[in-house]
Every structure is written in structure tokens, then in C-alpha cells.
Amino acid sequence: MLKKTLLAICTLGALTPAFATELVLYSARADTLLKPIVEKYEQKTGVNIKLVNDKAGPLIQKLQAEGSNTPADLLITVDGGNLWQAAQTGILKPVNSKVLEANIPAQFQDPKNRWFGMSVRARTIFYNPQKVNPSELSTYADLASPKWQGRLCLRTSDNVYNQSLVGTMIQNLGRATTEKVVKGWVSNLATTPFPNDTAMLEAIDAGRCDVGIANTYYYGRLLNKKPNISVKPFFANQNGKGTHVNVSGIGLVKYSKNQAEAQKFMEWLSGPEAQNLFADLNNEYPANPRISPAPHVAKWGSFKQDIINVSVAGQNQRQAIILMKKAGYK
């Protein structure tokens, strides 16, 4: 009888799944963008994923403070500048993965494999076609020319997206030329800089200015709300290095207690199923070049991307902030 009881218990144990792994994901992205992806992975694998949300800076500080006691396994945040800062603090661990190397182009990876871009956004020129012929547009630097005086709108300089654009320009054009360009932008402003890209795009639509610089996904979001908006994208620098692009990306936390499972999630994110979800939900481009963007994003046109490594945005961030302040860009 005892043997039968033990056998029954053993059999029941074999049939009952082990406690599901839980991954803790610190995220600087909106819940609405990540939840559908997380739910898909949970359904597919049985792994539970707990999201902890905040802005990039506080999350990086939290990970530093927690050290080896952190519950976090992964960090997701936007912009190469933020990802570079996270890597510099020592909170991320290199991941050596043939899957990630095959799926994510080198320019969207940390050179030391501490983070990988998972979606791509272009920061490019937008214009009002009622006031601007696209033949008048060419480069970011051209927006500093006198013909745009009183016609340019920009977002504030304290935003990481503009800091990354200027940081990349420093790398491509040199510091002196970039400073001259930024001073030209300031001279050409139609009004004071806006707190966000959406407000700036709406100002172009309203005729307060004719041209500006924004991330493509903000344009996509605005189109969803206002399909008849009279603003169009123009992909800058097509006869040069290409349009400035940046990423949202993910890194493995150094003190993760579930590193193997965390790496599997990263690899899944870089594949076809997740790439479409990850990019499409926020009107972005997949980081995996074998995956096509959503039809509504593809309608904006194909373009040449600047293939400089996005980590340069972080490396030059301090220089960019100092340069913009010197140029009077608020």
C-alpha cells in the first residue's frame, strides 16, 4: 500500500509542471506597447513576465542601488544614448548569442554585446506641403540656411532624442560645423522649442512653422488620431550618410537570477513573431532587416539609414549638451 501511495505521488509530480519561471523586466516603455508582446511570450512558453515601469534614468539608478539584490532580469529603454549610459554604469552583462548576432545589425548593437536594439525609429524632417516643396529639402544642416529663417520648429534640447541627433552630427560633421548648424537652427526658429514632438508636428500642421525635426513614430501616432493632418515626412541626408536613426533596446541585467531564460526572451524578441509586434504597435521599423515594416509605416517611403553605431549617441551626449547650450538652443 505504501509503495502504491509513493508511486502515485511520484506519478503526480511527474505530470504536474514545475513552478513557472518569472522574468522581471524593468521597462522605460509604455505598458500598452509591451503588454501584448509579454502576453504572447507567456502564452507561448509558460514563462511569467513582471513589468516594472519608470523612466530610463530612475530605472538605471534603481539597478545601481539594488546591485546584486536586484530582482530584475532585463532592462528595456529607448535611445542609444540611454542604452549607452546603462552599459557605462556596469548594470548590464554581455550576451554572446548567435541568434542575436544574426538578427540584429551591428550598428544597432552595443560593441560589447551589453544591449541590442529591437526596434528602429528615424528622427527626420517633417514639413507642411502647403508651404514647402520637398525639392527645397535636403539635410539637417540645410535647416540652418537663411531660407528657413522664421520657419523652423524644434523640440527642446534637453530631450535625449535631440541630444543623440546632435551627438551623431558631431561624429559625422565635426564639432565646429555642428555648432555652426545648431546656431543656424536657433536663428531660424519660428517660436520657442516645444516640450514634445507631437506638439511640434501639430504646430507645423497649424501653420505656426513650415518645417521641423521629429521621430517617425510620433508622426504615426498623430496620423492615427488625425488622419487628415497636412504634414509629411522627408528623409534627410539621402545623398550623404543617410537619415539619423535610433533604437529602443534591451539588455541583460548583470545580476539576473534567470540569465538563460532572459537570453531566450531577448532572442525571441529579435525574431519574426515579436519583431512585427514590437515595431508595429508603436509605428516603428523592425531592427531585424529581414522583417518588413507595417504597411502604414512602409507608405512613408523607403530610405537610406545612417549606419553609424547608435552607441555614438551616448559617447557624444555630453559634448552635444554643452554644444547646444553654447549655441543658445534651449
Q: Which CATH superfamily is domain 20-119+247-293 in?
A: Periplasmic binding protein-like II (3.40.190.10)
**What mean pLDDT comes out for the span 99-120?**
98
Check pLDDT > 70 for residue 224: yes
**What mean pLDDT comes out for the span 138-157?**
98
Question: What whole-number distance in Å separates Cα of residue 118 and Cα of residue 126?
Answer: 24
Pinpoint the residues of the chain covered by CATH 3.40.190.10: 20-119+247-293, 121-244+310-326
Q: Is 227 exposed, middle or buried (0-12, 13-18, 19+ CB in 10 A)?
A: exposed
Residue 20 confidence (pLDDT):
67
**What mean pLDDT comes out for the span 47-74?**
97
Residue 279 confidence (pLDDT):
87
**What mean pLDDT comes out for the span 272-300?**
94
Of 78, 135, 84, 154, give the one whose Cα is nearest residue 114.
Answer: 84
Overall fold of domain 121-244+310-326: D-Maltodextrin-Binding Protein; domain 2 (3.40.190)
What are 60-69's pLDDT values in tens digits? 999 999 999 9
